[in-house]
Structure 1
């Protein structure tokens, strides 16, 4: 159910398609049949990749405390820097490398500290390891997903319109939802949904409302991230989504009474340091003075 809810809210985006004109496939310079075939394969691939990634994130959140989970998720920025360098020709500077190292060390500190399972999750050491590996794998997969999206926008979609962003969110989410529903029934977990709803402490209405609003907020967030990929880059999109990660462990202490021992505090500080390293690199790139050759080219244009 946790996997399903991350993609099942896509119908709320369908009305938005009515407000944006459809761009012509002929404008890409490819035949209509080739374009449709390529897009269908693209949506299918990204949908299945998204479903697998959502499932790994769900298992990670199931077996890890919120603070540990959020800090491990911070590694997706480092993974994204690597994939952006390999797939999107992203510049790999010293500050970017510093961010990569710091976030990797931050996650490693949590990996060698299984004593954190003595908090609210109350899971065994093997399940803690599984949760850690699933979260780490999900972070790497999500980073690859973002980099491949940026590559697809440039090489295959080639449409500078908002409806292209909506298509890339709606259709893969539909595929991911179908895959999640198949998994829900194949695993037999659907049989426990009735008892789960009845046993929810806050009541049935609260259970349904949590699912509905979680699905809606996931879609809003995803469209925003896709828009940033479309307008800037996958790495910048991931940076924005990582802004909240250093704050989540603090909120987990306040609302879920999660523990924050010395190792987690150190991992948190390293994660913040790694994030700020990239932010400073982006600042330098943004305000870097143009060379005389570049200025002359702009004047001629």
Structure 2
């Protein structure tokens, strides 16, 4: 009786059936290739977007609403991917497709939720030092583990627990890397407000990831690339609309022209920084949602956490910041934690 688990088949004369091997090898490793691509999207998008955001603040930008808007407004860049993506038909003839109204309500709920989280993150970054902000954001892994356990039946193994612990510790190390040139003229009240906003944003984003994975399983019932892109576009569309309303309602839009004219790098650089940040956040979003349905929301969060120690390394290149032992140890621990989780699979 033939071994069904054997990927390499042999002909009658004992030689390897190369055709059979070439057919089965791509199927076996297709998921790993997709995971690698989505991981690169997450790390690249998050790191570059963070660098662009820091450059915006360093050179004279100060609009919370504008910085929040660029996190979601880049969704039109993904429309071509939605148009060229093939429509996959379900193999199950009895599979019931979700109603349009149900999908619309899902997109609106997730979109409004995302808009609120983006605002909270922007407020936290405004009122907190970068090191403190990063430490609080690391708590997202703990929140994600809790929500994934209750909502997504995430099983914990020693390798996963080791990965979460190491990645969190690598981010905590960044707290001891103080930027002496950075002054935070913030009152205790504003500091506390920023602390609370960042905690709520970290917990909320972890919940958003778990809810997204849950919605794919019980509502969308489609794990194709087209479904991922559609989720990003409609969710970002709703978020952008909500944030735009906030931009005009607050009157912040009246100060944008003056801010652009006073930007240290010039008008063109001001626009290019915002556009680049918007595109990078969309690359990050598609990588995040891709990892959610290919692996889990917890794994998506782990990969996102790997990018936190990468930003200080990029800052050395672009902002000529000094690198020391703390940053190097943080980077090594991040890679260690990431490989620990990958070994689990």
TM-score (norm 2): 0.69
Instruction: Find the counterpart in structure 2 of residue 239 from structure 1.
Output: 302
Select between 137-146 and 101-110 the one with higher mean Cα deviation: 101-110
- Give the superposition deviation at 1:65: 3.3
Instruction: Find the counterpart in structure 2 of residue 291 from structure 1.
Output: none
Instruction: Find the counterpart in structure 2 of residue 49 from structure 1.
Output: 113
Structure whose alpha-carbon radius of gyration is higher: 2
Q: Is the 8 A contact 1:65 1:258 kept in 2?
A: no
- Give the superposition deviation at 1:60: 1.9
- Give the superposition deviation at 1:75: 2.2
Instruction: Find the counterpart in structure 2 of residue 164 from structure 1.
Output: 227
Instruction: Find the counterpart in structure 2 of residue 11 from structure 1.
Output: 76
Residue pairs, 1:260-279, within 5 angstroms: 265=326, 273=333, 276-277=336-337, 279=339
- The answer to whether structure 1 residue 120 and structure 2 residue 182 are counterparts is yes
Distance, in Å, in 2 between the alignment partners of 1:40 and 1:193 is 33
Instruction: Find the counterpart in structure 1 of residue 128 from structure 2.
Output: 64
- The answer to whether structure 1 residue 87 and structure 2 residue 151 are counterparts is yes
Q: 1:101 to 1:130 in 2, by over 3 A?
A: farther
Q: 1:81 to 1:41 in 2, by over 3 A?
A: same
Instruction: Find the counterpart in structure 2 of residue 183 from structure 1.
Output: 246
Instruction: Find the counterpart in structure 2 of residue 30 from structure 1.
Output: 96
Distance, in Å, in 2 between the alignment partners of 1:140 and 1:259 is 32
Q: Is the 8 A contact 1:70 1:249 kept in 2?
A: no
Specify every segment of 5 or more residues in structure 2 that has no aligned partner in the other structure, as ranges.
Answer: 1-65
Distance, in Å, in 2 between the alignment partners of 1:94 and 1:162 is 31
Q: Is the 8 A contact 2:167 2:302 kept in 1?
A: no
Q: Is the 8 A contact 2:149 2:155 kept in 1?
A: yes
Number of equivalenced pairs: 278
Residue pairs, 1:166-245, within 5 angstroms: 166-245=229-308
Instruction: Find the counterpart in structure 1 of residue 142 from structure 2.
Output: 78
Distance, in Å, in 2 between the alignment partners of 1:173 and 1:147 is 17
Determine helix, strand or coil for the equivalent of 1:247. Answer: helix
Select between 51-60 and 20-29 the one with higher mean Cα deviation: 20-29
Residue pairs, 1:74-153, within 5 angstroms: 74-94=138-158, 96-97=160-161, 119-126=181-188, 127-153=190-216
Q: 1:149 to 1:10 in 2, by over 3 A?
A: same
TM-score (norm 1): 0.78
CA distances 1:69-118 after superposition (whole Å, capped 9, x unpaired): 3343222222212211111111134554556567778888999x9xx696
Distance, in Å, in 1 between the alignment partners of 2:270 and 2:338 is 39
Specify every segment of 5 or more residues in structure 1 that has no aligned partner in the other structure, as ranges.
Answer: 287-301
Q: 1:227 to 1:12 in 2, by over 3 A?
A: same
